[in-house]
Amino acid sequence: MGRVISYELDLLGSHGMAAVDYPEMLALIEQGKLRPDLLVDRVIGLEEASLDLPTLDQRPAVGMTIIDPVVI
């Protein structure tokens, strides 16, 4: 968080966001002005997740790992 403050960066997200603000956020996504897909590092299935989970804390925090039960 120190780097965010020292470089005066802006963080965009929906964690803790009021539901009343969702339509505006979704409009920004639809317009291509907000790109949540850039936050995703990889998408893995449940089988890979069960193998990967014990080492998730050892991975660099570059992006989110999405666990999709449909992915094989």
Same domain, 40 and 70: yes
Average pLDDT over residues 34-43: 91
Strand partners, 43: 66
Same domain, 23 and 3: yes
pLDDT of residue 5: 77
pLDDT of residue 62: 77
Q: What band does 32 get if pLDDT is binned at 50, 70 and 90?
A: very high
For residues 50 and 67, give the distance between their C-alpha atoms in angstroms, rounded to a whole number. 10
Same domain, 42 and 17: no
Token output for 54: 């014990």
Same domain, 42 and 26: no
pLDDT of residue 28: 95
Same domain, 40 and 25: no
- The residue with greater pLDDT, 14 or 32, is 32
Same domain, 10 and 24: yes
Structural domain containing residue 29 = 1-34
Average pLDDT over residues 49-59: 82
Total domains in the chain come to 2
Same domain, 50 and 70: yes
